[in-house]
Amino acid sequence: MQVRDLFTIPFILFFMIVSCDNEQSESAAIYESERERVLIGAEILIDRYMDELEEKRIGLVMNPTARIGDVHMLDTLLALDASVTALFAPEHGFRGEAGAGEIIEDGIDQESGLPVFSLYGETRQPTPEMLEHVDVLIFDMQDVGARFYTYIATLGLVIESAANAGVPVWVLDRPNPAGGNYVSGWLLEEEFESFVGPYPIPIAHGLTMGEIAQMMVGERWIDFETEPELRVVKMESWNRDMKWPDTGLDWVPPSPNLPTFEHAFLYLGTVYYEGTTLSEGRGTDNPFLLMGDPSTNLTDEDLERLQNLSESLIIERAEFTPVSIEGVAPSPKHEGEVCYGIRIEARDYDFDPVITGLEIFSVMMQATSDYELRPFRHLLAGTREIDRLINGEISTADLEFHLDEYLEQRKQYLLY
């Protein structure tokens, strides 16, 4: 019996015992909802391919988003007697216990007793010694669709190391929360390649992890002497027009400061404050939806301009005081200081978060009298063009991202 049959049986029995027309209609709606939910790569793996992993030592490159429902993939695999021998931890840790930028140490997973190798410490990719523990690596992490989100850099380094060690990599695919057709923002310029900008793609790249894995191999954005043995376990029922709410899946925070999809969607355009001394809302309940500075002074005209940006958004004045939050924001900017700025709320997601976020950023910067710019802004934007926006030399209406070549380049790697 396949795993998916276990989910289907209760619904079949329900139909058999219910006779009332109204109850039948309600039951049919429940069944239809379950049927249309996106089936992620992890479910397809468990359903169809476990026999191929028999007698193989399995390494897991995962974080808390590697779940089927409420159950972590590690627990699921161990319950199925899979031979999991090593765990590999990206930024934020295998269990998600670390804040942004916090160094991850090698150690032991307390729940399973398995060794945990850090991919966000002294080394950011598996070493030959680490890979001696495994015959295959399974990569399963929820991305947010942003070039500067570090999981795609980790993915590339994992594939690179595994190829040179002759270890296959299986990528369990998950949705791009912002959608597969949403592509926006500057292409990364070579000068600004970094761990938050590893590949020449736009800010919002519109790819799933499986697709970007194929693209980084096919375009040789990663270094390898032996062709990687890459396998993508595809999703079912996902299409490129879907944003996260359309998937029927529960949101599991991919990092501590993106607690909901709303935060993650706005993050595509509100991350740029990290390249300045303005607060991006870390140390509050609403990171990337709350931003400001002790010296920000929005005029009524500024606020009206922001409020007219999109009918999808509610933008209001806000005062907030960042505080230290262990494991989430241990040392936020302006800790203990009152900041003045705005709070953003999304009514719906019918807007371009990159363009809208850059417009908000431009207004906020010009309304702030005492701030510093950090080089990190160029790594996030992938270009110096963001400086022209900050100093008012250009507006978002003047922005041209020149994405036609990228859109053509990515076509051969699209899986859906």
pLDDT digits (tens, 9 = 90+) for 130-157: 999 999 999 999 999 999 999 999 999 9
Answer yes or no: do 298 and 281 share one domain.
Answer: yes
Answer yes or no: do 248 and 271 share one domain.
Answer: no
Answer yes or no: do 282 and 245 share one domain.
Answer: no
Burial of 316 per CB tally in 10 Å (0-12, 13-18, 19+):
exposed
pLDDT tens per residue, range 108-128: 887 889 999 999 888 899 999
Answer yes or no: do 165 and 219 share one domain.
Answer: yes
DSSP class per residue in 68-91: ETTEEHHHHHHHTT--EEEEEE-T
Which of 26-35, 191-200, 246-255, 342-351 shows the lowest mean pLDDT across its residues?
A: 26-35
Predicted confidence at residue 216, as pLDDT, reads 98
Q: Please tell me the distance from the alpha carbon of residue 386 to that of residue 399, in angstroms, as a whole number.
A: 10
Q: Which of 87, 92, 91 is nearest to 107 (CA)?
A: 87
Residue 108 lies in a domain: yes
Tokens 């709410």 belong to residue: 245
Read off the pLDDT of each residue in 382-410 and give the average, rounded to a whole number.
96
Q: Which of 165, 144, 154 is nearest to 89 (CA)?
A: 154
pLDDT tens per residue, range 196-250: 999 999 999 999 999 999 999 999 999 999 999 999 999 999 999 999 999 999 9
Strand pairing of 136-140 and 58-62?
parallel
H or E segment and range at residue 138: strand 136-140
Read off the pLDDT of each residue in 266-293 and give the average, rounded to a whole number.
98
Residue 401 lies in a domain: no
Residue 36 lies in a domain: no
Answer yes or no: do 242 and 222 share one domain.
Answer: yes
Answer yes or no: do 65 and 206 share one domain.
Answer: yes
Answer yes or no: do 139 and 221 share one domain.
Answer: yes
Answer yes or no: do 51 and 155 share one domain.
Answer: yes
Predicted confidence at residue 92, as pLDDT, reads 72
User: Which long-range contacts link 112-115 to residues 24+ away (Cβ below 8 Å)?
Assistant: 112/74, 112/78, 112/84, 112/87, 114/74, 114/84, 114/85, 114/86, 114/87, 115/86, 115/87
* CATH code for the domain in which residue 115 is found: 3.40.50.12170
Q: Total structural domains in the chain?
A: 2
Give the domain range for residue 352: 261-383
Residue 368 lies in a domain: yes
* CATH code for the domain in which residue 272 is found: 3.90.1150.140
Burial 279-305 (b: 16+ CB within 10 A, else e): bbbbbbebbbbbbbbbebebeeebbeb
Read off the pLDDT of each residue in 254-275 and give the average, rounded to a whole number.
97
pLDDT tens per residue, range 175-200: 999 999 999 999 999 999 999 999 99
Tokens 């700025």 belong to residue: 341
Q: Is 87 left (phi over 0), alpha (psi -120 to 50) or beta?
A: beta
Answer yes or no: do 266 and 356 share one domain.
Answer: yes
Q: Please tell me the distance from the alpha carbon of residue 312 to that of residue 346, in angstroms, as a whole number.
A: 6
Tally of CA atoms within 13 A in the half-sphere of 23 that contains its CB: 8
pLDDT tens per residue, range 315-335: 999 999 999 998 899 999 999
Residue 28 lies in a domain: no
Residue 213 lies in a domain: yes
3-state secondary structure of 124: coil
Answer yes or no: do 107 and 240 share one domain.
Answer: yes
Answer yes or no: do 248 and 269 share one domain.
Answer: no
Residue 13 lies in a domain: no
Answer yes or no: do 90 and 215 share one domain.
Answer: yes
Residue 324 lies in a domain: yes
3-state secondary structure of 277: coil
